[in-house]
Structure 1
Amino acid sequence: MTDDHDATRRMLLTALAGLTLAKISLSPANASTDKTENTPPILVAYFSRSGNTQVIAGVIHRALQSDLFEIVPATPYPLDYFQTVAQAKNEHDRAIKPPLKNNLADIDRYQTIYLGFPIWGTSVPPVVQSFLSTHNLTGKLLIPFITHGGYGAGDSEEVLATLAAGARREKPLVMECDQERKTTETVTSWLEAIRS
């Protein structure tokens, strides 16, 4: 790991340590009332399956007093991790962009958008690709924050360059958060060991 990676991780872990354990209450767009009239609103849009990306979105949202939008598929992904992996692979292989539960009607209000997502199968999840395909980000500043299970950012730069071609992009925060996969593999191995 690089020193930059360690410093970023320490900063986020310090910020996360200050959070309460209560679940973040989110609506499709949750506006903050403490912003000045002249400050253009900032949007934090995110998709999170296991909660890792949601926690980071919450830290950014509170620090910037931004609006918050959770990207949710119209039909939820399965609760089972491996079924979700299989469905996401099928969507990716067939170039399916699943419909969203909600769209952001007033995307034009925002000049800066923080976009958070986990890497699925070395790429941007299909539901996030749906968000990018259905919302015009031309002329906006897009700042990605990406979580992954140990394989890095995959082809996310290429996907963002294609689906948000008119947006300016900052270098993303890329952070390893592989707890769900490791937990699932550990429990599966344990069960196999005690059954044999």
Structure 2
Amino acid sequence: MTPTSDLSRRAVLTALTILPLVASTSACAQPGNSRSLANGKVLVAYFTRSGNTRVIAGTIARTLGATLFEIRPARAYPDDYEETVAQARQERDSGFEPALAETVTNVATYDTVFLGFPIWGETAPPVIRSFLRAHDLQGKTLRPFITHGGYGTGNSSAVLASHAPGARVEDPFVMEADQERRTLTQVNSWLGVKPS
């Protein structure tokens, strides 16, 4: 993929994501609306593998003038897509929650937390569970934004409810963004490799 085509893909993702978010946050910021973001401090925390969720997170942060925080495990996931899928499946099945590279030191100062992540194995990635367990979001508004490869949000709502007790979890912004999986499928097809 050339830098130009990558930029075009990112521009399209940005355009697709900003319209619903701007409409949603504009509605929230109307006078007299108790969900106004204007008076509260906003954090945009996200985890990404391929960059799709990063594009959405950056758009939200720029639009709202929010603080941006990338969630990273202390030990990075493999660069290879299939190795990452296998590791994530093993972590999910065992209930493992990886250590974080760093935490938000002043999370208490934020009123609203936008939380972005891709769906892995029909659920939130283990590192999202780690993030939620490491940060007390009680009394805060949690606004999830989720990317997925065509299978929907799985049980991620249940994960958010159980790992962010006391937070007001709003309905998520959800977007299919499966470029990595689609690319892998097409390359394997071209090579004559049957899916496993």
Regarding TM over 0.5, the answer is yes
Q: 1:68 to 1:176 in 2, by over 3 A?
A: same
Match for 1:13: what amino acid? L
Q: 1:106 corresponds to which residue? A: 106
Measured in 1, the distance between the counterparts of 2:17 and 2:129 equals 31
User: Do 2:115 and 2:144's aligned partners in 1 also have CA atoms closer than 8 Å?
Assistant: yes
Deviation at 1:192, TM superposition (A): 2.4
Judge conservation of contact 2:122–2:154 (CA < 8 Å) in 1.
yes
Q: Does 1:70 align with 2:85?
A: no
- Asked if the contact 2:144/2:170 (under 8 Å) is kept, the reply is yes
TM-score by length of 2: 0.79
Secondary structure of 1:189 counterpart: helix
Number of aligned residue pairs: 164
Q: Which residue of 2 aligns with 1:140?
A: 140
Task: State the partner residue of 1:13.
Answer: 16
Residue of structure 2 in register with 1:183 after alignment: 183
For the residues of structure 2 that align with 1:87 and 1:14, how far apart are their CA atoms? Answer: 29
Distance, in Å, in 2 between the alignment partners of 1:132 and 1:162 is 9
- CA-to-partner distance for each residue in 1:10-65, whole Å, 9 max, x for gaps? 9842749xxxxxxxxxxxxxxxxxxxxx8432000000000000000011010000
1-structure distance, mates of 2:61, 2:126: 24
- Measured against aligned partners, the alpha-carbon deviations of 1:156-195 in whole angstroms (never above 9, x if no partner) come to 11111100121001111011000000001111111227xx
Give the superposition deviation at 1:80: 0.4
Structure 2 gaps, min length 5: 1-11, 20-37
Q: Call closer, same or farther: CA 1:66–1:96 in 2, change over 3 Å.
A: same
Aligned equivalents of 1:160 and 1:169: distance in 2? Answer: 7
Query: What is the distance in 1 between the residues matched to 2:192 and 2:43?
Result: 45
The TM-score, its normalising length taken from structure 1, stands at 0.79
Aligned-partner residue type, residue 89 of structure 2? K
- Which residue identity is paired with 1:56? I
Which structure's residues are more often helix, by fraction? 2
What SS does the aligned partner of 2:68 have? strand
- Residue in structure 2 matched with residue 52 of structure 1 by the alignment: 52
- The 4+ residue runs of structure 1 with deviation greater than 6 A are none
Q: Which amino acid aligns with 2:163?
A: L
Give the match's secondary structure for 2:162: helix
Partner of 2:192: helix, strand, or coil? helix
SS of alignment partner, residue 116 of structure 1: strand
Structure 1: give runs of 5+ residues left out of the alignment.
1-8, 17-37
